[in-house]
């Protein structure tokens, strides 16, 4: 197996072509539903940013090129939390047709609005954690990134596989999916040139942050790979893809396709 085979296997996984964002744009969900969707997605994205011990663990294994490349990805993620909060609050305001989030630069206030929406719409589902407002599927996808604290060789290779899959999905499914439902759908009258949409503009396309991350993740893996560790890399990629596909399934079922958005449309 080669690195290019792993890349192809990520693109063949059902997570890569998951219709959750098409269903978002087709379902035209309520502002509250948008808030609940953002709460789960926002927290998941948050968990993917810290590198924890991965860059130094790579250095310690003598894989300094890989360590440098992963460190550059981590550094480019700085400030993305506040920018995502601004975009989420802006979309909720547009969706509601009134100002729900008054101060889009107040990250904590936007976060608490998102959680309120989530509590209201998902709070009765089994396994919902009232404290964080997270579903088990969200927590499971987030927990994969705790693995970056481990510094043993096996964990490091698994983490390289997770990083590769994360960056391919971010660049080719998640960010284009968000652009599709937030901008192209016309649901929110939003454009990439609005300052509130800076997060999406910075991440989207071949000159965006995710294209750079994907390239760095591939190069990090190419520089570090030993044939004997390919299985671990594939495992790390699959753990991520399976958990994110389960998260997209949940959001789709509970909030979009067969959930409140469709039901609301039916009563209208």
Residues that bind Fe ion (CB under 5 A): 77, 80, 167, 170, 210, 213
CB of 44 to Fe ion, least distance (A): 12
CB of 83 to Fe ion, least distance (A): 8
Choice between 93 and 173, CB closer to Fe ion: 173
Choice between 210 and 239, CB closer to Fe ion: 210
Choice between 210 and 238, CB closer to Fe ion: 210
Q: Count of residues for the chain?
A: 268
Give Cα 196 to chain centroid, integer Å.
19
DSSP 151-207: -SHHHHHHHHHHHHHHHHHIIIIIHHHHHIIIIIT-TT---TTSGGGHHHHHHSSTT
CB of 208 to Fe ion, least distance (A): 9
Pairwise CA distance, residues 189 & 246, whole Å: 30
**Among 160, 172, 143, which residue's Cα sits nearest to residue 12?**
172
56 φ/ψ angles, rounded to the nearest 5 degrees = -75, -35
Question: Computed over its alpha carbons, how large is the radius of gyration of the chain?
Answer: 18
Choice between 32 and 167, CB closer to Fe ion: 167
CB of 130 to Fe ion, least distance (A): 28
Choice between 91 and 256, CB closer to Fe ion: 91
**Among 181, 203, 193, which residue's Cα sits nearest to residue 91?**
181
CB of 210 to Fe ion, least distance (A): 5
């Amino acid at each position: 197996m080669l690195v290019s085979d792993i890349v192809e296997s990520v693109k063949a996984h059902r997570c890569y072509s998951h219709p959750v964002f098409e269903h978002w744009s087709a379902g035209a969900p309520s502002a509250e539903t948008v808030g609940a969707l953002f709460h789960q997605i926002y927290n998941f994205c948050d968990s993917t940013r810290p590198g924890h011990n991965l860059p130094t663990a790579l250095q310690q294994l003598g894989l300094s090129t890989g360590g440098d490349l992963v460190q550059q990805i981590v550094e480019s993620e700085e400030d993305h939390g506040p920018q995502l909060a601004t975009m989420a609050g802006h979309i909720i305001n547009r969706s509601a047709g009134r100002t729900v989030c008054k101060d889009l630069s107040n990250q904590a206030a936007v976060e608490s609005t998102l959680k309120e929406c989530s509590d209201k719409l998902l709070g009765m589902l089994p396994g919902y954690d009232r404290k964080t407002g997270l579903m088990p599927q969200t927590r499971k996808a987030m927990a994969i990134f705790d693995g970056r604290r481990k510094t043993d060789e096996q964990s490091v290779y698994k983490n390289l596989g997770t990083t590769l899959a994360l960056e391919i999905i971010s660049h080719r499914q998640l960010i284009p999916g968000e652009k599709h439902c937030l901008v192209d759908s016309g649901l929110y009258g939003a454009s990439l040139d609005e300052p509130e949409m800076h997060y999406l503009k910075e991440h989207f396309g071949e000159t965006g942050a995710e294209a750079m991350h994907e390239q760095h993740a591939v190069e990090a893996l190419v520089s570090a790979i030993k044939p004997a560790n390919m299985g671990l890399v594939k495992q790390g990629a699959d753990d991520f893809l399976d958990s994110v596909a389960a998260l997209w399934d949940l959001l789709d079922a509970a909030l979009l396709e067969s959930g409140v958005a469709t039901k609301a449309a039916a009563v209208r």
